[in-house]
């Protein structure tokens, strides 16, 4: 449609100063759409569509006629675009002179903005600073949105690194650095969790026999390698759900969640003892150690206590040592230390 020199100049100015606008003719038909408004429609600009076919005027309510629209001049309009995303916008309508000369006579200019939906619209329609007038505050908001996005990403990355560092530090705090097993601090946390949850478990106190002779004869470096070999052997002979902790120089604790049977504890203890009697090859030497084990079961207590079970398992361990080493003893509530039928010595 030919708008004439004056109309073309007006359109050029509008495209530069308020690129998200529509020019309506006297009949309410859209004669021109600014470049940003055109982007919001799936099939290009809404030119030649009637106002009510391109926009839904939500407030104030009118019959959609051009006379009713012109009567809303200067008022804040709440509209929804008839596009696939049903984009909500704000608008203000300015009537054009009704001088009877040219297609713009009796029409109006409808200027639009996104309001608080700006960020969503920028994302949905891939809008940039070029889609807004250079003096539009929207440009500043876009810069702020971009700066916020960069800051949020940097903050998220920093938080992830800090969280990773915290997890690593916590893991280190609960790990025996020599063997990679849990340490005493981790064991205390495990026992507290099990007793508070009232879940049954067995506890074995494992102490190496003749380990001091390894340190005295071959030195502490060799002793450290023996402890590492022992840790690997114990991990191989227990379940994945079991917890193994090194709580002293050559003292270990094995926690068996869900175990309530004395016979099963005895089988596990015997298996550990047998495995730990295997020779340990060092660089130029072969070492021999064995293990004595004292055990306690939570099901044997009316109110289980991790500390009490550790003390009773230690008493049973002492009995195993006194009985000849290389054996296990299970603590019995009714008699204190269990009788010979619960010890497994074979030396």
Question: CB 205: neighbour CB atoms within 10 A?
Answer: 27
What CA–CA distance (Å, rounded) separates 112 from 195?
66
What CA–CA distance (Å, rounded) separates 224 from 230?
10
Per-residue model confidence as pLDDT tens digits over 147-201: 777 888 888 888 888 777 776 666 678 899 999 999 999 999 999 999 999 999 9
Instruction: Return phi, psi of residue 251, to 5°.
Output: -115, 130
Q: Predicted confidence band at 343 (pLDDT cuts at 50, 70, 90)?
A: very low
What CA–CA distance (Å, rounded) separates 230 from 238?
13
Per-residue model confidence as pLDDT tens digits over 292-318: 999 999 999 989 999 999 999 999 999
Which pLDDT belongs to residue 169? 65
How far is residue 45 CA from its own chain's centroid? Answer: 43
Which pLDDT belongs to residue 292? 96
Which SS3 state, helix, strand or coil, does residue 130 take? helix
How far is residue 251 CA from its own chain's centroid? Answer: 37
| pTM across the whole model | 0.54
The yes-or-no verdict on residue 345 having pLDDT over 50 is no
Sheet holding 30-33, edge to edge: 30-33, 21-24, 108-113, 88-95, 77-81, 55-59
């Amino acid at each position: 449609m030919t708008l004439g020199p004056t109309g073309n100049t007006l359109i050029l100015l509008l495209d530069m100063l308020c690129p998200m606008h529509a020019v309506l003719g006297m009949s309410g038909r859209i004669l021109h759409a600014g470049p940003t408004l055109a982007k919001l429609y799936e099939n290009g600009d809404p030119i030649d569509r009637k106002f009510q076919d391109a926009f839904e005027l939500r407030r104030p309510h009118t019959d959609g006629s051009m006379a009713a629209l012109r009567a809303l001049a200067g008022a804040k309009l709440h509209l929804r675009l008839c596009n696939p995303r049903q984009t909500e916008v704000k608008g203000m309508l300015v009537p054009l002179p009704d001088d009877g000369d040219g297609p713009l006579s009796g029409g109006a200019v409808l200027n639009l903005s996104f309001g608080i939906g700006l960020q969503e619209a920028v994302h949905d329609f891939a809008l940039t600073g070029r889609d807004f007038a250079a003096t539009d505050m929207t440009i500043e908001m876009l810069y702020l949105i971009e700066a916020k996005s960069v800051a949020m990403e940097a903050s998220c990355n920093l938080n992830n690194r800090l969280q990773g560092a915290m997890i690593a530090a916590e893991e280190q705090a609960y790990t025996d650095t020599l063997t990679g097993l849990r340490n005493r601090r981790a064991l205390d946390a495990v026992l507290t969790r099990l007793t508070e949850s009232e879940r049954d478990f067995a506890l074995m106190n494992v102490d190496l026999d003749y380990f001091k002779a390894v340190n005295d004869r071959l030195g502490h470096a060799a002793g450290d390698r023996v402890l590492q070999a022992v840790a690997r052997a114990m991990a191989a002979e227990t379940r994945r759900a079991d917890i193994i902790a090194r709580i002293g120089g050559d003292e270990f604790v094995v926690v068996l969640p869900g175990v309530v049977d004395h016979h099963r504890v005895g089988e596990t203890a015997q298996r550990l003892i047998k495995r730990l009697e295997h020779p340990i090859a060092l660089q130029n030497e072969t070492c021999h150690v064995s293990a004595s084990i004292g055990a306690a079961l939570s099901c044997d207590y009316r109110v289980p206590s991790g500390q009490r079970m550790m003390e009773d398992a230690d008493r049973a361990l002492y009995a195993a040592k006194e009985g000849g080493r290389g054996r296990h003893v299970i603590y019995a509530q009714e008699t204190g230390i269990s009788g010979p039928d619960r010890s497994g010595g074979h030396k």
